[in-house]
A and B are shown apart, each in its own frame.
Chain A
Amino acid sequence: GQQVMQIPQYQHVQEGEDFTTYCNSSTTLSNIQWYKQRPGGHPVFLIQLVKSGEVKKQKRLTFQFGEAKKNSSLHITATQTTDVGTYFCAGSSGGYQKVTFGTGTKLQVIP
């Protein structure tokens, strides 16, 4: 079955430093979504990428979808304490039904 892995599993950064998490799928994806889950909370949708090589920006967040549509990345510039949480990628292939979530990257920002 489809597997979606993320690295790193954990990341501690000093406030103001940049952060990147990488997502890799065992199969080619139709699209990929990114979610953020705060401690004790539920996943909250951030963005969806559909096209090969697509890059989208949301303020300090930059999302990228690989050319082969098997990998993606999320980069946060100048982290803030409000960025703390676990970031999940979630992909689907061969249609838009089942969504497979990645293993997640837990971000801790040290003030």
Chain B
Amino acid sequence: DTGVSQNPRHKITKRGQNVTFRCDPISEHNRLYWYRQTLGQGPEFLTYFQNEAQLEKSRLLSDRFSAERPKGSFSTLEIQRTEQGDSAMYLCASSLTSGGFRNEQFFGPGTRLTVL
């Protein structure tokens, strides 16, 4: 399968614990995005990478959230000291940009986080 994959698909954790999610984009894609989606809402932008560089981070993202893409391939999203309000679907998407013209984003299946 050459699509975007995310692991784990589901995560249940207790408030205060740290969690880490992984995203493997389509191999030749240079852009990688993280979104958060809650029930009945559209995907909310969190951050994105161009290769290994994190170019933008949402102001909505608290210091408890951090993302990395160390070799410009897979990415991880870590949430420290989770809160119940962090419960959501975390979506990863990748795209191949060329000449500054943004192309379609391919989304992964998401990681559903439940914080008890």
Contact = CB atoms under 8 A, between A and B. Distances in A.
Contacts of A103: 41-42
Interface in B42-95: 42-45, 48, 55-56, 59, 91, 93
Interface string A66-110: 000000000000000000000010101001111111111000000
A96 B97 contact: yes
Nearest to B43: A101
Interface residues of B, number: 26
Contacts of A95: 100
A104 B55 contact: no
A interface residue count range (under 10 / 10 to 19 / 20 to 34 / 35 or more): 20 to 34
A101 B43 CA distance: 6
Contacts, number: 56
A98 B35 CA distance: 11
A103 B104 CA distance: 19
Interface stretch (A11-19, A40-48, A52-60): A40-48
Interface string B14-44: 0000000000000000000101000011111
A104 B102 CA distance: 21
Given A42-B109, A48-B102, A96-B97, 7 more contacts: A1-B59, A31-B102, A96-B102, A98-B45, A99-B33, A99-B105, A104-B41
9 contacts: A33-B104, A43-B43, A43-B91, A43-B105, A88-B43, A97-B48, A99-B102, A101-B44, A101-B45
